[in-house]
Amino acid sequence: MYFAVFFALLLGTGLTVFAATLDLGPFNAPVALGIATVKATLVALFFMHVWHASEKLTKLVVIAAIFFLMLLLGLTMSDYATRLWS
Amino acid sequence: MHDSSTTAVHEHHGEAHVAHNPALLHHFAEEQQQRNAASLGMWVFLATEVMFFGGLFCAYLVYRRWYFGDFAAASKSINMAMGATNTAVLICSSLTVVLAVWAAQTARRTLLIVSLILTMLLGMVFLGIKGIEYRDKFVEHHVPGASFSFENEPIPGHPGEYANPRHAQMFFSLYFVMTGLHALHMIIGLGIFTWLLIMAWKGRFSPEWHTPVEIGGLYWHFVDIVWIYLFPLLYLIDRHA
């Protein structure tokens, strides 16, 4: 099963590089980051054994880390994105 | 450090003591609880690392939004093939790490040692390629500082427009700090895995106790995840233009 995840990760990398060569307008960055998020999720769930974790608290800590990161990025970018409105 | 190579109960314990696996430390009720505690501890540390790198990612996103064209021009000058290769190298190393953990769980000492060595070799390949990339940046005067130079670099998709060197220098500052911090984590990871290799060689790990392999593996996977995000953000800005 680890090998399935491994090949999915390599596939995702190839897909990211390929998608970067296409002109997707404003969607190039979201596509690249979306694929990266899928890859990171696969690594976390299956390579880091979060999917089968027997301790619920582990999953909570993972979600908490992501939540606070999103808070940092989301609120900061919202601040800058909503400046210079006249 | 518990030596799990013996399965006898410690002689120096008193009578009011139920026989248990020597790998079980006394402040835990069960082995599964002890394993969970170790994993939880490492995950809490990784959560702090997420915020550590998160701050840099935040700074990067702010400046990228401000100076997108200049960042695109700067991104074009770093080697995408080497970045993609490094991504594949780290993904392979994550596979060898999972194999090492599985080998420890199933008492396969040879596979454990081979997997640990392969992981370290792949980590060194990653650092080697990174070194070549850094050298290229030094040669091209793209290292921020007194000798930085980024003149007449066209902005991709905007013919006739050239990148602002001061804005491009911001990209390279972020590039070197983010990949440098990541490389530092790789080096620390190599140190951790050297220690794991020595312990594995001495036969310290068993299916009952192989906690360092598991949590060392968690650390390595995290460093891989950071690179999975670094690669598209730094190397793939506007590559189609």
Q: Is residue B218 part of a domain?
A: yes
Query: In the prediction, which pLDDT does B239 show?
Result: 84
Q: Which of B57, B218, B228 sits opposite A73 (nearest CB)?
A: B57
What does the alpha-carbon distance between residue B108 and residue B100 come to, in Å, rounded to a whole number?
A: 9
Work out the minimum CA distance from A8 to partner chain B, whole angstroms. 10
pLDDT tens for A51-83 read 888 888 999 999 999 999 999 999 999 999 898
Domain count, chain B: 1
Q: Which two tokens stand for residue B115?
A: 């997997």
**Residues, chain B, total?**
241
B101-106, Cβ contacts within 8 angstroms, sequence gap of 24 or more: B101/B210, B101/B213, B101/B214, B101/B217, B102/A2, B104/B200, B104/B205, B104/B206, B104/B207, B104/B210, B104/B213, B104/B214, B105/B207, B105/B210, B106/B207
* pLDDT of amino acid B7: 45
How many Cα neighbours within 13 Å face the side chain of B69? 13
Is position B41 within any domain?
A: yes
Nearest to B228 by CA among B194, B169, B182: B182
Q: Please report the pLDDT score of residue A85 as a whole number.
A: 72
pLDDT band at A27 (very low <50, low <70, confident <90, very high): confident
Residues of chain B with pLDDT under 50: 1, 4-9
Domains in chain A: boundaries? 1-52, 54-86
B29–A contact, CB cutoff 8 A: no
pLDDT of residue B134: 96
In a domain, B13, yes or no: no
Q: Residue B153 sits in a domain of what CATH number? A: 1.20.120.80
Q: ipTM of the assembly? A: 0.92
pLDDT of residue A28: 86
- Retrieve residue B210's tokens: 């192989």
Structural domain of B212: 31-235
Which pLDDT belongs to residue B15?
53
